[in-house]
Structure 1
Amino acid sequence: MFTYGKFGIAALAALGGAEAFLTSTPTLSSSKGARAAASRQQLRMAQLPLQQVTGQSSMATDVLDRYMSLDTGDQVQAEYVWLDAEQRARSKCRTLSKERAAGPAEKYPKWTYDGSSTEQAPGDDSEVIIVPRAKYRDPFRGGDHVIILCDTYDPEGNPLPTNTRAAAAERFEKDESAKPWYGLEQEYTLFNLDGVTPLGWPVGGFPGAQGPYYCGAGADRSYGRAVSEAHYRASLYAGLQISGTNAEVMPGQWEYQIGPAVGIEAADQLTISRYLLNRVCEDLGVIANIQPKPIKGPWNGAGMHINFSTEDTRKEGGLDVIKAMCEELGKKHDEHIAAYGEGNADRLTGDCETADINTFSYGIADRGCSIRIPRDTAAEGMGYLEDRRPASNVDPYVATSLIFETTSKATAKK
């Protein structure tokens, strides 16, 4: 468990919790004895585990396991997950019979929640309806328990303005024959509970330069592997098409890949994978940050590269279709950038394996381009493209459907 040790009060100051701590120390006497007592108390506080310093209680998981192993008979817990106004996952749980829970998501009952508490409805008309869309096994409860992905509607049945899934599903349904495949590379940065110190970084300082951390091993270069491994296993258990994971270039930064998955399923699975990541981090006492540039300066940002192909790009002559798609993507560069996540300008600078945000480019095996055409694709004359512009916090429904919409013009010109 992370402790502050020798960093002492400087560590607390970096946390922003030092002020409250210092004002709680004895100050009534200026005597040497009182000052010594205060120093001892400061030292004890500085050595506390991070969870205690930040007000997070440390819970005994072995005690929780006693209850989680209890049999629930013919009842199932169904965790309903939806996205709030900031596209962050919210959830609540309900009990269903095993018989009812055995069916597909479409057979699950609709539910409601207080939209005024998620900035999606006014207080005087706060009920938001959640409609089940996809079903996954629950890796936290095990057994027959499930996670249900939902989207959000007003009482008249209209999608909320924040429900981007509805429009994406409609777009994919218009041209199912194209069979769009997606591989989504979700990068994230692990932070201590102070919210400002990446995992493995010295409090108030910086680690060694980038280089040894990418796909690295060892306590001096790999920080947070437990999160990556736990999330990987939880995703497999849930039934997600997670295809891999690796440590990234910046220390404390990781990536996992969802896909290949078809159409709306890719964004659905990415959404649930983010939820699982946050739940794993909740259990392990760290924060998963998906901001595109969490640390300023010469440190790699975080993206969500989107690998994309259609039936036309995966067959003979596909490379020509891919190049035509790149031309269409270039025409809509500004529109795509606007949809590819907040704070992306801090990441897309032309440095740290990114293209400049103001310039569109594509090339073979070039990670400094907006769109990379893999070398294998170029050699085989068919395959996929990689859009490297989306930020790690991008809305997957908006991004995947927009790529499909824009590139469909290239297919139509064939």
Structure 2
Amino acid sequence: MEGLTISWIGALAGLAIAIILILRKLNPVYALFLGAIVGALLGGANLEQTISVLISGTQSVMGTVIRVLAAGVLAGVMMESGAAETIAQAIVKKFGGSKAILALALATMIITAVGVFIPVAVLIVAPIALSVGNKMGISKLALLLALSGGGKAGNIISPNPNTIAAARGFNLDLSHVMLAGVVPAICGLLMTVLVASLLKTKGVKVSDQDTMDSDVDTSKYPALGRAIVAPLVAVILLMINPIGSISGIEALSSFKVDAMYILPIAGIVGMLAMGQGRNILKYSASGLNKMTATVLILIGAGGIAGLISASDLSAQVVGLIEASGVSGTLLAPLAGILMAAATASTSTGVILATGSFGEAILNMGTAPLAAAVMVHTGATVIDSLPQGNYFHVTADSMKMSIKQRMGLIPYEAIVGGTMAIVATLMYGFLL
């Protein structure tokens, strides 16, 4: 494959084909692979070179894949034990009805931040949101924005596949990328609460029928003190190295243990703290099952990222940016925005953006950590489009029609856009 440069037209055609096939309901993995194959052939590669492009691309995501699978242990523990629900209930109860939108957004943010997938986090908090919305007269639009915006904020500081992909894409420690996302995440949370508060009376309200099956039996859930052990252990272990680097304490900064070890360890410690040691096989199997679909999509994304990185598309984009006089720093968030919009997935968008434009972004003088945070936050702007499963899962969770759910996309973009702008100003221009 040495010396092969696929035409940028082939790369764009391959990406377009993949998106069209996803919209036509073909399995995303096959859609991404087919797009990569057709794009490579159209771009001038022969059959043998096309296979090399695919293999090279999928190999590039294997580091992300094994870390995502390892994260499945923590995710399985948090979901199956009821720990995530306990945390959500505690936050909503603590804030009370008067601060309902803040409580719902914060609950979803925290559950996502501790390693639960954003669609699952929304599913966990949705019954609470429906119940609160019914009592307080808050519209479904405002409720789902609180959940989705809070989830987006938590997602950029979490040990989830998207953050792992951002870290691995620029050869960084996961903890550094999580920590760098804190300020943009807080700004995203504040924007969520502000916009959702303005939407409280807009759109359809929650009916009594909507709340019929929203009562959650909490009797078998662990106590809050035990529920927070797993995420607390994960956060402490992940933050030892960056805190050491910031404070100059060599003993801490030399603690370089990969998230691949830390996340399963945290899950097991949390399981034991909740007295659920006997369920280790059940919880880890559940976590693995929940990660399988994501892993397959990441592999598919690796295939099409291989196509784009083997093409001259990034060079063409860089040329356009230089010709227009726009700062090269903007390539990072723009790559995240466009790739996540194309695939309707934060993690797939990050994989494509880092695999396709990573080298070009760094060549324009952007530091790796800045690049990772800008790509990552950019990928949250318009990642909830109808060709992705997040759109449909969240619509079902709040009993909304497709049309009602479509109406939320611009407001979600405001939240994601806020985080991307804050990250770009902080890491692209100020720091």
When Rg is computed on C-alpha atoms for both structures, the one with the higher figure is 1
Higher strand share: 1
Interval of TM-score (by shorter of Structure 1 and Structure 2)? under 0.3
TM-score (norm 2): 0.22
TM-score (norm 1): 0.22
Comparing both chains, which one has the higher relative contact order based on Cα–Cα distances under 8 Å and sequence gaps of 6 or more? Answer: 2
